[in-house]
Chain A
Amino acid sequence: MIAFFKKRPYIFFLLPGFILYSIFVIYPIFAAINISFFEWNGIGEKVFVGLGNYIELFTNPELMSQMTNALGHSFTLFVLTVLLQIPIQIIMAYMIYIKSKGKNFFQVAIFSPQFISTPIIVFIFTLLFDGNIGLFNRILELIGLGHLTRSWLGIPELGIYIVWIMITWAGIGVGMVYFIGAMKMISFDEIESAYLEGAGVWRRLYYIVIPQIKSTILNLVLAAYIFGMTIFDFSYILGGISGGINRNVDVMSLFFYRMAFGDQNPLGGRVNENSMGMGTTIAVVLFLMLFIVAIFQISLMYRKEED
């Protein structure tokens, strides 16, 4: 017995992490799949219903409409991030990379909202766009456009875009710093020879820098997908548990939270009695959506490593 461990000292190194990680990260995935086959509220009797919860989720018109709405918003956040935020991050990173004046100030100021907690970010945007105390309206009044003032945060159609703007303001610095890191890995000779051949700043960005930071771009696209599917706090703080007026800021994770932990269920008894069953069913659907991307990402990581 002792000889067995003597020969395999790594077991002692791996064990603490393995146990903790298995219990709180891996086991819940399988336990959630298991619970999703039951009708259960967490306390009472557990009734096996097979795929019943999944059928209910995809056929009940109210649940289905809530899910497509939330899913649509999650995808909106993902698409906006990929199409707008990532290009902006690349340009910001490039500006710092080519040593613009004030680059240290840029870097710190763009990154710092990362350290501000979500409720305060939402509060900052309230201070700017609120109907009554919002600065934006005051400025409109000052420049004689008083008739345009409105409660910007209260316009349902704008909801999810406002969420995206908040997320972007808070998080844009991280991706930017990743891009700066990736750009610094590019060999200086290549950039210089392109410069000597007469390539301007933007041609150098397009022909030399972007091809070399491709894997960082891809990683951030995947991260944006995971983020869109799991973002919770902005929507919860802005719109409460119901996801705002007409669920205008609802996202997948909030929908999941509402089903699993929401105490006032708009659907009445049925789902509430089945909070744990339906909650985990939604979680499993989300797991599956992430799983497809996860396989893709792991295979990429390993391909990169074998190069």
Chain B
Amino acid sequence: MDKHHGIVAGIIKAFLWVYCSFAVFILGYILYNSFRPKKDILTNTLGLPSGFTLDNYKKLLVDDKFLRFFLNSVIILVASLILIVIISSLTSYGIARYKFKLNKAVRIYFLIGLMFPSQLGIVPIFLLMSKLNLVDNLLSVIIISASGISMPVFMLSNFFAKLPEEIHEAAIIDGAGEWTTFYKIMFPMASPVVFAVCITVSVQIWNQFFLPLIFLTSEKYKTVPLIVMKYTKNLFITVDSAMAVSILSTVPILILFIIFSNRIIEGVTAGAVKG
């Protein structure tokens, strides 16, 4: 087909180049400023550097122990992901592979969470968590994040429903129990969808702001977004740390994204086409 798309398309493409370069530019700009002393950033924003320094990073990593907050975020992410994958694949398998009377009702039941984000039910959840003594504990955020299984269940049950019945029958005839069939045969087959689930869910969990804000009140349990906010709130005092913390919390994730970008974008697309 034609490679030439006309003037309008040309203008839009030019605009896209500018727009996309902006994302790269702004990251470069923050990276550059993260190596400059505070005085330079505030008074000589665009000017040439009077010298580069690693102090901003040193302050953040050594004095403020930034890695601990990073670790909190990682713990919440990994634990929630493991729980979500186990629980939602079990549930979806139960819904998709077995025919029982209330099947349709159960499927709708698990869809409700798509429309009602947990933050609206946060008052009862908060009361429940304080009864369980889990307020100000990473576990509270993990459990609540892990119970939002509507999207994963939806994606996975669509996948399991499409697997041919023969695989299931053959495994049962070979003497495998229901359980073995699931985790030796069916679950491994779902790994592309599981990957897509992990991507969609991790972005949400990694960036989530509302739950940690409510449940993690003491400093030592704060997650990355909360701690970043501490630095960006009052820029005249902490603009140097804000630069460094932006780089430290963004660059590792972006590098991971760029390495796996094809698979990640495919995964998100797969989730969308199914949803």
**Interface, chain A (partner B; CB < 8 A):** 8-14, 16-18, 20-21, 23-29, 31-32, 35, 42, 91-92, 95, 98, 100-102, 104-120, 122-124, 126-128, 130, 132-133, 135, 138, 142, 174, 177-178, 180-182, 184-185, 191-192, 195, 200-202, 216, 219, 226, 230, 232-233, 236-237, 253, 256-257, 260-261, 276, 279-280, 283, 286-287, 290-291, 293-294, 297-298, 301
CB proximity of A301 to chain B, nearest CB, Å: 7
Given A10-B97, A133-B45; A24-B123 close (CB under 8 Å): no
CB proximity of B160 to chain A, nearest CB, Å: 10
Q: Is the CB of A25 within 8 A of B20?
A: no
Please report which residues of chain B, range 118-143, place their CB below 8 angstroms from some CB of chain A when the two chains form the complex. Answer: 118-125, 127-128, 143
Q: Is the CB of B275 within 8 A of A219?
A: yes
Q: Which residues of B contact A107 (CB under 8 A)?
A: 261, 265
Please report which residues of chain B, range 155-175, place their CB below 8 angstroms from some CB of chain A when the two chains form the complex. Answer: none
CB proximity of B16 to chain A, nearest CB, Å: 6
Q: Is the CB of A9 within 8 A of B1?
A: no
Q: 16 pairs across A/B with beta carbons < 8 Å?
A: A14-B90, A21-B91, A25-B113, A26-B113, A95-B12, A100-B13, A100-B16, A117-B209, A123-B242, A133-B239, A200-B6, A233-B210, A253-B120, A257-B210, A294-B115, A298-B108
User: In the bound complex, what is the Cα–Cα distance between A14 and B91 (angstroms)?
Assistant: 5
Q: Which residues of A contact B9 (CB under 8 A)?
A: 95, 98, 100, 201-202
CB proximity of B221 to chain A, nearest CB, Å: 17
User: In the bound complex, what is the Cα–Cα distance between A106 and B95 (angstroms)?
Assistant: 39
Q: Is the CB of B115 within 8 A of A297?
A: yes
**Interface, chain B (partner A; CB < 8 A):** 1-2, 5-6, 8-9, 12-13, 16-17, 19-21, 23-24, 26, 29-30, 41-42, 45-46, 86-88, 90-91, 93-95, 97-98, 100, 106, 108-125, 127-128, 143-144, 146-150, 153, 178-179, 182, 203, 206-207, 209-210, 213-214, 224-225, 228-229, 232, 235, 239, 242, 246, 249-250, 253-254, 257-258, 261, 265, 268-270, 272-273, 275
